[in-house]
Amino acid sequence: MTVAEIFETMDYGPAPESSAEAMAWIDGHDGRFGLFVDGTFTEPGSSFDTRNPATGKTLAQVTQATPEDVTAAVAAARKAQPGWEKLGGPGRARILYALARIIQKQSRLFAVLETLDSGKPIREARDIDVSLVARHFYYHAGMAQIMEDELPGARALGVCGQVIPWNFPLLMLAWKVAPALAMGNTVVLKPAEWTPLTALAFADLAREAGLPKGVLNIVTGDGAVGEAVVGADVDKVAFTGSTEVGKAIRRATAGSGKALTLELGGKSPFIVFDDADLDSAVEGIVDAIWFNGGQVCCAGSRLIVQEGIAEDFHDRLRTRMAKLRVGDPLDKCIDMGAIVDPVQRDRIAAMVDGTTGQVHRGDAPEGCFYPPTLITGLDPADPLMQDEIFGPVLVGTTFRTPAEAVSLANNTRYGLAATVWTENVNLALDIAPKLASGIVWVNGTNMMDAAAGFGGVRESGFGREGGWEGLRAYVKGPEGKALKPVAPVAAPKEAKVTGLDRTAKLYVGGKQARPDGGYSRAVWSPKGALLGHVGLANRKDLRNAVEAARGAGAWSKTTGHQRAQILYYIGENLSARAGEFAARISDMTGATAKQAETEVAASVGRLFTWAAWADKYDGRAKGVPIRGVALAMNEPVGVIGQFAPDEMPLLGLVSVIAPAMAMGNRTVTVASTAFPLAATDFYQVLETSDVPGGVVNILTGDANELAAQMGGHMDVDSVWSFSSSDISATIEAESAHNLKRTWVNNGRARDWSVTDAHTFLAQATEVKTVWIPYGE
Ligand code: NAI
């Protein structure tokens, strides 16, 4: 067809991008790639093909790294790390800046290579992936530049092992590598087996930016190589991929002391209210589920539309689907390219085939393509409504009231992103806080930026990428010394029993409760005096406590001002009983009167500090380079299970309960195993301080007995452990059940005389990024 004819008919004419430069780069490496280790490519080893999914043709051969290769890459990164960190923020910033410039200068090469290897439309690779990659390096060059001023005392973690998926190969590399390098870490990265080429090209070209050797190492291969990276001598593991593998990684790293962030799957709701601009919402759907063929972790894959407009909306959607052009990804006019691999295409087909819903499909060519698909009329419990399809398949249902929309949206084990479409600003901003997700987009979707935190809650993983909150995953504070286990004082040969029998109960739902199992234990002073008895909580008590905490949800909705008043009041009441608490500390621990008084005074001070913070941990408004603003809203995590420290039993207890309360969480707190009476006395203070029932629940017993249960409990959102019992590994391994956040001491002591407010604040909150239209 000639151009003149196209003008005549206004018909579609293909506009293919040339692949010559990208193929020349591959040919320049003889079509075979080794690994990139210590600044150079190794000799290619046992290899596998990477193919263009649109044509099925082999693009290159890539090495399957051996465990020894991974060890060598980690050793190179380890060797390079001190020098890279010592270069200082501004020194690293210059190199990150140079990397950003290289991405821009070679943008077409990267875009075409990405399209060839992944099948995504060149329009997306060029305008979205590669431009966001450059933005990410620029942004983090800036973070390196100002790190020393803005994050005083922050140190690099060391070597980071990073494993990424195939849906945004270069962009995921940027999300992982840029913040890690900015903060002075070095990296061993494993790209996905289907899409290794842009990572190799990046490493190749990074040499031109003056990146010192060993700072960035790329090991290619399948999941076994990923496993080797996770198991290697790295200080941090960052993973993006499936929830299943995320859980395996959580288990594999449990107790290792390795920092971990997981960015996993989703089944993100896309809610359309009846007052929405329907045509713009239809375009939103195109971006939500047909962008990158729906192979997007935050894809708006569940359409939840208000009943009155559902028919009209589905009609408009079907009309739009008919106009989507699926085909050669190198064609600049293509809306949807190939599915990344025939395996993935078959996986999508297998999930959809046989569905009982009403299926509407667009067109797609033969081969590794899948048509845009809409399925309506499904029950909310249908597997297609619950499971991640990771393809261009939208499933839909309807709702009547905003409350029902929220409940349908949250009816998922995931919590990555959500979209709300309405012309009513009150409605949008009423719904946004109610959605269980790390990201909410209002009248827009799939928006991402280096400044805006990205990441989920629930089984979508934990940790954020991007923004200030993302940096937290790549720095550490001072490390504590090894903790000496503290055991309860053993029963003396000659017991001194005086006064009336005193048995402290558990504290659940604002009431004192007898332990379910009917077991207690005596608490002795080092001088042999019986101080009282405490109940031994079992799994049923823990379950009751979690239920009580879950039921106290109103606490999370109270204002910071209100929470501050209550924390001040607790401080006031503790202060009134200071002498009694000091005597108890001395009796239990053998501390001198002076030491005990100091601990009580510090505890009152700590309560005042957290009362002060309750209404001051503000979020941020992120300036993002699109029309809008991304609000970083600090929300409570929910129910936090806590194992209180044994050292400084009162100050430690207050230091873990108060920040959680201040940020609107409810706690199930297991008292120090050795010195539990500080906690049972403390709940009497809570009882007289207007703390609503269920906000703080206190269990006594053996931390070892309760760790697995707390770690694995499906209705606990996070577990903190500062116990001197060896329970960190158990908690982390068990947490894989629902992928709750964990914060454990790994046997290291913390200095409880220091507030360390920012660490506690971050651990006590979940950042929700809410994108709203703003400005012109
Ligand atoms: P995957 O989670 O298996 O692969 C992601 C990365 O992890 C790849 O680099 C892979 O080699 C590596 N890997 C695999 N097993 C590993 C292990 N045991 N230890 C360490 N690394 C390991 O994802 P896959 O199989 O490619 O896709 C399966 C499904 O996962 C998709 O259909 C989709 O539902 C979901 N998925 C979600 C992604 C997201 O961004 N949330 C990305 C990719 C897949």
The residue whose C-alpha atom lies closest to atom 27 belonging to ligand 1 is: 242
Cβ count within 10 A of residue 98: 17
Ligand 1 centroid–CA 363 distance in Å is 28
- What is the reported pLDDT for 326? 98
CA angle 82, 466, 157 (to 5 degrees): 25
- What is the reported pLDDT for 180? 98
**Tokens 């940790």 sit on residue:** 463
Give the span between the Cα atoms of 587 and 591, in whole angstroms.
8
Give the span between the Cα atoms of 186 and 314, in whole angstroms.
49
pLDDT digits (tens, 9 = 90+) for 190-229: 999 999 999 999 999 999 999 999 999 999 999 999 999 9
When mean pLDDT is compared across 7-21, 72-86, 87-101, 170-184, the lowest value belongs to 7-21
Of 242, 262, 448, 458, which is best to mutate to test ligand 1, by the most ligand atoms within 8 angstroms of its C-beta? 242
- What is the reported pLDDT for 4? 80
Per-residue tokens: 343? 């395996």
Ligand 1 centroid–CA 413 distance in Å is 18
Backbone angles phi, psi at 709, to 5 degrees: -65, -45
- Indicate whether 183 pLDDT > 90: yes
Q: Which residues contact 83 (CB under 8 A, 6 or more apart)?
A: 212
Ligand 1 centroid–CA 224 distance in Å is 12
Backbone angles phi, psi at 249, to 5 degrees: -70, -40
Q: Which amino acid is residue 296, in one-letter code?
A: V
Q: Ligand 1 pocket by C-beta < 6 Å: which residues?
A: 163-167, 190, 192-193, 222-223, 226-227, 230, 240-242, 245, 248-249, 264-265, 297, 347, 388, 390
Ligand 1 centroid–CA 264 distance in Å is 9
CB 718 within 8 A of CB 637: yes
- What is the reported pLDDT for 515? 96
Query: Between 677-687 and 560-576, two packed helices, what is the crossing angle to 10 degrees?
Result: 120
Three-state helix/strand/coil letters over 666-723: EEEEECCCCCCHHHHHHHHHHHCCCCCCCCEEEECCCHHHHHHHHHHCCCCCEEEECC
User: Any idea what DSSP says for residue 396?
Assistant: E
The residue whose C-alpha atom lies closest to atom 38 belonging to ligand 1 is: 241
- What is the reported pLDDT for 586? 97
**Tokens 């207007």 sit on residue:** 690
CB 609 within 8 A of CB 602: no
Ligand 1 centroid–CA 535 distance in Å is 45
- Chain centroid to Cα 605, Å, comes to 32
H or E, element range at 107: helix 107-118
Ligand 1 centroid–CA 173 distance in Å is 14
- What is the reported pLDDT for 14? 86
Give the span between the Cα atoms of 301 and 395, in whole angstroms.
6
Distances (CA, A) of 147 to 86, 255, 632: 13, 30, 20
Ligand 1 centroid–CA 179 distance in Å is 22
**629-636 and 765-772 strand pairing:** antiparallel
Catalytic site includes residue 297 = yes
Give the span between the Cα atoms of 321 and 283, in whole angstroms.
10
Backbone angles phi, psi at 757, to 5 degrees: -55, -45
**417-421 and 268-272 strand pairing:** parallel
The residue whose C-alpha atom lies closest to atom 11 belonging to ligand 1 is: 223
Per-residue tokens: 771? 């994108």
Ligand 1 centroid–CA 242 distance in Å is 5
pLDDT digits (tens, 9 = 90+) for 500-558: 778 899 999 999 999 999 999 999 999 999 999 999 999 999 999 999 999 999 999 99
Average pLDDT of every residue of the chain: 97
Residue 566 banded pLDDT, cuts 50, 70, 90: very high
- Chain centroid to Cα 388, Å, comes to 17
Distances (CA, A) of 495 to 491, 527, 533, 540, 674: 7, 9, 14, 32, 18
Ligand 1 centroid–CA 163 distance in Å is 9
- What is the reported pLDDT for 621? 98
Of 171, 173, 245, which is best to mutate to test ligand 1, by the most ligand atoms within 8 angstroms of its C-beta? 245
Strands (E), 192-339: 216-218, 236-240, 259-263, 268-272, 300-306
Give the span between the Cα atoms of 112 and 369, in whole angstroms.
19
Closest atom of ligand 1 to CA, residue 230:
20
Q: Which amino acid is residue 57, in one-letter code?
A: K
Strands (E), 489-648: 503-504, 506-508, 511-513, 520-524, 530-535, 620-623, 629-636, 639-643
pTM of full prediction above 0.95: yes
The residue whose C-alpha atom lies closest to atom 29 belonging to ligand 1 is: 242
- What is the reported pLDDT for 8? 82
Q: Which residues contact 16 (CB under 8 A, 6 or more apart)?
A: 328, 330, 331, 332
What is the full DSSP assignment across 722-745?
A: --SSS-HHHHHHHGGGTT-EEEE-
Q: Which amino acid is residue 682, in one-letter code?
A: F
- Indicate whether 6 pLDDT > 80: no
| Ramachandran region, residue 691 (left: φ > 0; alpha: ψ -120 to 50; beta: rest) | beta
CA-wise closest residue to 56 among 116, 109, 114? 116
Distances (CA, A) of 58 to 108, 111, 226, 556: 21, 18, 23, 54
Question: ipTM of the predicted structure?
Answer: 0.97
CA-wise closest residue to 669 among 685, 684, 652? 652
Ligand 1 centroid–CA 183 distance in Å is 26
Residue 603 banded pLDDT, cuts 50, 70, 90: very high
CB 250 within 8 A of CB 732: yes
The percent helix, strand, coil of the chain (3-state, each to 5) is 45, 20, 35
Distances (CA, A) of 155 to 57, 160, 285, 478: 46, 13, 42, 8
| % of residues, the chain, pLDDT over 90 | 96
The residue whose C-alpha atom lies closest to atom 15 belonging to ligand 1 is: 223
The residue whose C-alpha atom lies closest to atom 30 belonging to ligand 1 is: 242
pLDDT digits (tens, 9 = 90+) for 696-721: 999 999 999 999 999 999 999 999 99
- What is the reported pLDDT for 293? 98
User: Any idea what DSSP says for residue 126?
Assistant: I
- Indicate whether 11 pLDDT > 80: no
Query: Active-site residue among 17, 85, 263, 647?
Result: 263
- Chain centroid to Cα 253, Å, comes to 16
Closest atom of ligand 1 to CA, residue 296:
40
Query: Active-site residue among 124, 160, 297, 459?
Result: 297
CA-wise closest residue to 673 among 702, 649, 653? 702
The residue whose C-alpha atom lies closest to atom 12 belonging to ligand 1 is: 223
The residue whose C-alpha atom lies closest to atom 43 belonging to ligand 1 is: 241
What is the full DSSP assignment across 618-662?
A: --EEEE-SSSSEEEEEEEE--EEEEE--SSSHHHHHHHHHHHHHH
56, with CB counted inside 10 A (0-12, 13-18, 19+), is exposed
Ligand 1 centroid–CA 377 distance in Å is 30
H or E, element range at 26: helix 20-28
Catalytic site includes residue 21 = no
